[in-house]
Amino acid sequence: MTEPTTDRGPVAADVKADSSKEAGQRVESMQKMKVDVGGGGERRNPGDETKALFEVEDLSCYYGDFRAVRDVSMTVPMNRITAFIGPSGCGKSTLLRWFNRMNDLVPSAHITGSIKYHGVDLNDDRVDAVEVRRRIGMVFQKPNPFPKSIRENITFGARIAGYKGNMDELVEKSLRRAAIWDEVKDKLNQPGTALSGGQQQRLCIARAIAVEPDVILMDEPCSALDPVATLKIEELMFELRDEYTILIVTHNMQQAARASDETVFMTMGEDRAGYLVEKGPTTEIFTNPKHQLTEDYVSGRFG
Ligand SMILES: Nc1ncnc2c1ncn2[C@@H]1O[C@H](COP(=O)(O)OP(=O)(O)O)[C@@H](O)[C@H]1O
Ligand SMILES: [Mg+2]
């Protein structure tokens, strides 16, 4: 791999991958990274809207010798909702997890190729994985609030990330942005796990938002929710799109059609390696796809 450089200069060599370092040092390295890659806290200009935030280049994802995803090249636009659809096992979750180094936690997982974020190779050894996960948050299939109070679900990550501001304000702001404040404001000290499934998922979104990410990855966030709770999450996604870039994996085709701007259709070959068939504006993928495989899938003939 060549030295990752951007128009903002090379990635600081002192942005280390060692996530066991002291929090203080981590905060310092985050700040360095903030300088180096731009973006992050500050908001974008209107003209930035269609800029590519991620560039995926020849990405293949492996578990040991097994290639789960092959040769993906694409860009992901900023401030848009990009949906990933395709049959079960085609590598959607695998691919999504490489966008915030969640696969670092799987020893057999490795890649060839790269994912660049603001022009920086996310999987470069010198990039701090903890900082990557702060900027690129994740919401999982099954709501997983910490076994702590609603309030602490918000403050915990922020404290670790070195947040120095007013915690009450942060709690309110995050819960409001996740459209759950009115439902929980009188019971902030009650356990997050006591909420309904849909509320728990919005709490998890609030928790992800609290550390001021740039991107939110969602892996089938509504699959454990009823239709009403699902619609609430979809409405919330639309509101969040102005401030965040959202990547969502869904096996619910209606959800992709309703709730995304861009759709990526993946399928898998005989070797079980998933690959990208087609990516485009959601309306095109659903009404006028270029590939027969896409057409068969979105019309329900396959998968
Ligand atoms: N931790 C893992 N170790 C080994 N193989 C895995 C692991 N996670 C997923 N796989 C395999 O990778 C392929 C893609 O899985 P996944 O990304 O979960 O697909 P999808 O989300 O599209 O259903 C599957 O063949 C699956 O069995
Ligand atoms: Mg999956």
Give residue-wise pLDDT tens across range 137-148.
Answer: 999 999 999 999
7, part of any domain: no
Model-level pTM?
0.84
58 phi-psi bin (left φ>0, alpha ψ -120 to 50, beta other):
left
Residues 172-197 pLDDT 10s: 999 999 999 999 999 999 999 999 99
Higher-pLDDT residue of 298, 4? 298
10, part of any domain: no
Q: Residue 235 is part of which domain span?
A: 23-298
Residues 41-70 pLDDT 10s: 344 444 445 789 999 999 999 999 999 999
Segment 213-229 shows an average pLDDT of 94
The confidence band for 37, taking pLDDT boundaries of 50, 70 and 90, is: very low
108, part of any domain: yes
> How many whole angstroms from 222 Cα to the centroid of ligand 1?
19
> How many whole angstroms from 87 Cα to the centroid of ligand 2?
9
Segment 275-286 shows an average pLDDT of 96
- Cβ(90) – ligand 1 distance below 6 Å: yes
> How many whole angstroms from 67 Cα to the centroid of ligand 1?
10
Segment 102-113 shows an average pLDDT of 95
The amino acid at residue 7 is D
Atom of ligand 1 nearest to the CA of 249: 21
| Exposure on the CB side of residue 191, measured as CA atoms within 13 A | 6
For 93, the token pair is 């979750």
How far apart are alpha carbons 62 and 231 in whole angstroms? Answer: 35
Q: Ligand 1, residues 65, 67, 94: which to mutate, most atoms within 8 A of Cβ?
A: 94
Q: Of 109, 108, 81, 107, which is closest to residue 95 (Cα–Cα)?
A: 109
274, part of any domain: yes
> How many whole angstroms from 144 Cα to the centroid of ligand 2?
16
Taking 70 as the threshold, does the pLDDT of residue 21 lie above it?
no
Atom of ligand 1 nearest to the CA of 108: 3
> How many whole angstroms from 86 Cα to the centroid of ligand 2?
10
How far apart are alpha carbons 225 and 198 in whole angstroms? Answer: 6
> How many whole angstroms from 240 Cα to the centroid of ligand 2?
23
CATH of the domain at 54: 3.40.50.300
Atom of ligand 1 nearest to the CA of 64: 4
Segment 207-234 shows an average pLDDT of 93
> How many whole angstroms from 68 Cα to the centroid of ligand 1?
7
- Cβ(35) – ligand 1 distance below 6 Å: no
What phi and psi, each to the nearest 5 degrees, are found at residue 268? -135, 155
How far apart are alpha carbons 264 and 254 in whole angstroms? Answer: 14
- Cβ(68) – ligand 1 distance below 6 Å: yes
In the prediction, which pLDDT does 289 show? 96
Number of domains in the chain: 1
In the prediction, which pLDDT does 10 show? 33
Residues 259-276 pLDDT 10s: 999 999 999 999 999 999
State the pairing for strand pair 136-139/215-219: parallel
102, part of any domain: yes
Taking 60 as the threshold, does the pLDDT of residue 34 lie above it?
no
Neighbours of 252 (CB within 10 A): 15
In the prediction, which pLDDT does 19 show? 36
Atom of ligand 1 nearest to the CA of 274: 14
What protein residues have CB closer than 5 angstroms to ion ligand 2?
A: 93
The confidence band for 303, taking pLDDT boundaries of 50, 70 and 90, is: low
In the prediction, which pLDDT does 33 show? 43
11, part of any domain: no
242, part of any domain: yes
- Cβ(45) – ligand 1 distance below 6 Å: no
Higher-pLDDT residue of 14, 246? 246
The confidence band for 302, taking pLDDT boundaries of 50, 70 and 90, is: low
In the prediction, which pLDDT does 301 show? 74
In the prediction, which pLDDT does 42 show? 40
Taking 70 as the threshold, does the pLDDT of residue 16 lie above it?
no
- Cβ(174) – ligand 1 distance below 6 Å: no
Residues 65-88 pLDDT 10s: 999 999 999 999 999 999 999 999
187, part of any domain: yes
In the prediction, which pLDDT does 251 show? 86
